[in-house]
Structure 1
């Protein structure tokens, strides 16, 4: 959730960004859920919107009733399939009471307005979001078979054309049997990862290494970009997400959910980027400005025709409009499809 929005450009200039228009602000806070092609996916209560911060155009694209339950831990991302010319949202949901709400990964299709459950053999509590590169959405997580809090991470990506998660080859581990990761990003057009260089027995982190995959998909192409050793107050369970290079050579990184820091990898200096009026929680996402228009999938028309679900009815704009919808309303659940996964899917994710 955010109370204010700011952008940071390559000159490290911080500017206030007007919030997206909310139809009914009293019904929910706004949360950033993903970014792709200059569009930002935002969640308002149970509903998802695509928003272009440059043109300030936003469109509702999907609704999902389980998002109403605040006991779900949710990791999400946005990706685009250029072959079918459609955007998709990917979500991993884990309930605080698994016996009640369960754990599952779903893909939302904006055109068909359907949700599909997909195979995801990882610990949901360990899932961390990452960037889109080559149309693939990247996350990192620990295998389900590991019950240790500091279990090594693996990088997986969601392929929007195949509607499947696949495993990305990792570099040789720095310590032991695998690496503890702090974040994924894209620097100089390459997927990069931040990994711990300290013994995992200590919760405090003193040194991290930033690596880049110079040839996408090739394990041998991982190289060290730089090492940071002057990191204040970072623990093994915190985030350290590379965002972008500034023009002066500094790399901007999101530190935990607290602040943005600019690191100089040449002299190992650092500084905190001041965000005006920042409260306790900070979220950061990378996007490139574009004139892309969010797709219009006729949610407004369906609401007025009485074809909306409870979620869309609840978030309709004016009271007059809500009355129109209620007068013609009929219940219809969102389509939900469960895909069967094969043994080959499991093999791809357990290489």
Structure 2
């Protein structure tokens, strides 16, 4: 049987789907069969790697299937003219946590790094690659106080050590502490040993940002001793350094050098640059600025000013994520809190909401989303073994 053009009788979409279902080692075997097969596999990888997508996670309403989550991968196609700019893939992946008692935490810790998505089911920490449809358990949470709960989760990668790390913000509320105590625990996926770090910021107002430069970013404000937290705004951006195991502050643009006037509503990635959305007192717009040179405070440039009223009068806009395709004048805005999507047209200065269909058997109020870039990444040697439980402590 000739291998010259083995899949020529099948549509390219079917060929892609067949090869994406193969494990990584089988892809290596397939591309070594012949030059034609090698070229075909490389074309598939080149097409998918780095392609930005939106991950949507929802929960089934049925009480008997309360542990079942559905995940959709959506393509960002802002160049088309029709209104259906967000195309849902024909296949929907389902995650069933039948081995876990509860999956309530899974949708709170949705984040990604290098195309890998972090999910947490109770004490079980899972890495999942939506592109190759592979998941693996990599960690377990250490034994925590019964009043401890997770506020935020994050995933980062250290190129020098070639290791992924999971970062979790925990809070412990007790009768002796009015506001509560909070700290961060960190563990590598290879050594699987949790390390405790102090976190001198208000956990009530800490919000997740984007993953940029292989590390997580959180929006925070300094810890205050105030009886009311309703008027507190976040005005700092932290990033986690996986080499030093420390949080560092990223310089942000300020108005007249008065940082207290700076209220950050979200972070994102625009044309490959880190960006933030800010609101200044007395203005009714969200000012979107990009950092042309990451880490250089002098490289901030304002590119958009989006009217707040465009989001609606009764809408919480404290947790936005901004994203744009390369050389695109349109800006995609994701609202993590309620699963809404907006597209801002920079040329026409127009903000529009986009809708995607959620079936009636799924809970729209529990929709969670995150941007990610596709990859064939499958970390080697990080799968959880029962004997790892002895060292997975702090």
* Structure 2 gap segments, 5+ residues each: 1-56, 60-69, 78-85
- In the other structure, the counterpart of 1:345 is none
- In the other structure, the counterpart of 1:87 is 164
Q: Distance in 2 between matches of 1:67 and 1:40?
A: 24
- In the other structure, the counterpart of 1:39 is 116
Contact 2:271 2:327 in 1 (8 A): no
For residues 1-351 of structure 1, what are the structure 2 equivalents within 5 Å?
2-3=58-59, 4-11=70-77, 12-15=86-89, 17-20=92-95, 22=97, 24=99, 27-29=102-104, 30-31=106-107, 32-65=109-142, 72-97=149-174, 99=176, 102-145=181-224, 147=226, 149-173=231-255, 177-199=260-282, 206-229=284-307, 230-233=310-313, 238-245=318-325, 249-255=329-335, 257-258=337-338, 259-277=340-358, 279-299=364-384, 302-303=385-386, 307=387, 309=389, 332=390, 334-336=392-394
**Normalising by the residue count of structure 1, what TM-score does the alignment of the two structures yield?**
0.77
Tell me the SS of whatever aligns to 1:117: strand
CA shift, 1:207, in A, is 1.4
Q: Deviations over 1:14-63 (max 9, x none)?
A: 33530346462554343343210111011112110110001011111101
Q: Distance in 1 between matches of 2:342 and 2:332?
A: 6
**Normalising by the residue count of structure 2, what TM-score does the alignment of the two structures yield?**
0.69
Tell me the SS of whatever aligns to 1:2: strand
CA shift, 1:151, in A, is 4.0
Q: Deviations over 1:100-150 (max 9, x none)?
A: 773111112111111111232211111111122223321110001464532
Distance 1:252 1:8, change over 3 A: farther
Distance 1:280 1:151, change over 3 A: closer
- In the other structure, the counterpart of 1:325 is none
CA shift, 1:298, in A, is 4.3
CA shift, 1:95, in A, is 3.2
Q: Deviations over 1:144-170 (max 9, x none)?
A: 146453245111110001111111111
Q: Distance in 2 between matches of 1:189 and 1:70?
A: 40
Contact 1:42 1:50 in 2 (8 A): yes
Distance 1:240 1:33, change over 3 A: closer
Tell me the SS of whatever aligns to 2:298: helix
* Structure 1 gap segments, 5+ residues each: 200-204, 310-331, 337-351
CA shift, 1:198, in A, is 4.1
How well do the aligned residues superpose, as a CA RMSD in angstroms?
2.8
Distance 1:152 1:63, change over 3 A: closer
Q: Distance in 2 between matches of 1:98 and 1:191?
A: 41
CA shift, 1:236, in A, is 6.6
CA shift, 1:252, in A, is 1.4
CA shift, 1:73, in A, is 4.5
CA shift, 1:94, in A, is 1.8
Q: Distance in 2 between matches of 1:79 and 1:240?
A: 20
Q: Deviations over 1:73-99 (max 9, x none)?
A: 411110001111110011111234474
Q: Distance in 1 between matches of 2:313 and 2:336?
A: 10
Q: Distance in 2 between matches of 1:75 and 1:142?
A: 15
Q: Deviations over 1:153-204 (max 9, x none)?
A: 11111000111111111112377733111111111111100111443xxxxx
Higher deviation after alignment, 158-167 or 62-71: 62-71
Higher deviation after alignment, 165-174 or 97-106: 97-106
Contact 1:142 1:153 in 2 (8 A): yes
